Amino acid sequence: MTFEETTARRTVESVPLSHLSIELGHLYIEEFAGGAEQLRRHFARIAPWVAAARQSCTARTPAGRARISTCFLIDDYFTRFSTPGEVMRLTTEAARDTGLVIDYFARESGCARADDIPLAELVLTQLVSDPVPETTGDRPPTTETGWLCNGRRSPTVGPGQAMSGDRTWLPPAQNAVNRHSIFLDVELWDEVDGTRRWSCPFLAAVWQLMRLGLLRHDGERVTNPYQLDDWPDDWDELPAVVKLNPHAAPFSAYRTFSVLGSRFLPVEHAVRTILSQVSVTPAVLDQVHTRSRAEHIDLPKDLIERIEYAFVHD
């Protein structure tokens, strides 16, 4: 009789993949308050960058047959405003007026939990902190503190004894330094009334993993896009990802490209720091690499090298 772990027999579900997922922006209450005209200005501003991303993807795809999908993220996590149907209508009409089509409509709360799966908690369990050279690892782990950094923090210096002399201050230091350090310390969550509230950078990191098709729960894919006939009035009743265009290429993709306002630059710096310390399930990575090789797609091994941006003035 042979005994083996159940997990050893568990298969990893495959996810449909486009070549490129283009994010057409984030919508927060400030932009929505500006009405349709402000949204049209946003889409008109990013349209040339979207066209360039499409052209670049087509040029590097064998035979030029690129599968490209677009998505748009709505902030319903930190602030609730209007109704899903009204926000969707206003946004898609503004995009259409500038020649853009939104294939998928996603909600930021879905990056925290989708289909009863706690996605943020799932990604938290996949974090592997970047060890600091010549240290003993005596600081509490990220999963306890809620803070993640890319190097060595400045040591905490408590009050010294009288007449003991000055204590030497040490600067923070980046691990993978290139001449001079760019040290970053990212807050992953805080607590409000005893409830954990995930930070914008951490939810954005989950969002990138969703778009790259790299998240699984017990081997099964998560955040399956839904098509709706009727839109609910309550944001909590809306799926994490809604498919607006029935003819759209798959939501997830080998690579992502996001056209964002320049105010998102520090957020995305934090996102890349977080993702550099995420350990994706090896079976999922192998599956994606096998499929990319079969399509003759040159896919970077480093996760963050599959993510590209264009930052424009707000």
What string of DSSP letters covers 288-301? HHHHHHHTT----S
List pLDDT tens digits, range 131-149: 666 555 556 788 888 999 8
In the chain, where the domains are located: 16-116+200-262+282-312
Helix-strand-coil split of the chain, %, nearest 5: 35, 20, 45
Is 184 within 8 Å of 150 (Cβ atoms)? yes
Q: State the DSSP string of 34-62.
A: THHHHHHHHHHHHHHHHHHHHHHHHHHSG
Name the band, by pLDDT with cuts 50, 70 and 90, for residue 6.
very low
Burial of 116 (0-12, 13-18, 19+ CB in 10 A): exposed
- Share the mean pLDDT of the chain: 89
Give every CB contact of residue 67 below 8 A, 6+ residues apart in sequence: 17, 18, 19, 20, 249, 250, 253
Return the minimum-mean-pLDDT range out of 22-31, 63-72, 97-106. Answer: 22-31
The pTM score is 0.89
pLDDT digits (tens, 9 = 90+) for 183-202: 889 999 999 888 899 999 99
Question: Is the model's pLDDT at 1 over the cut of 70?
Answer: no
Question: Collapsing DSSP states into helix, strand and coil, what is residue 145?
Answer: helix
Paired residues of 307 in beta bridges? 256
CA distance 172 to 25: 33
Report pLDDT digits (tens) over 197-230. 999 999 999 999 999 999 999 999 998 999 999 9
Question: Is a pLDDT exceeding 90 seen at residue 156?
Answer: no
Instruction: Give me the pLDDT at residue 155, please.
Output: 73
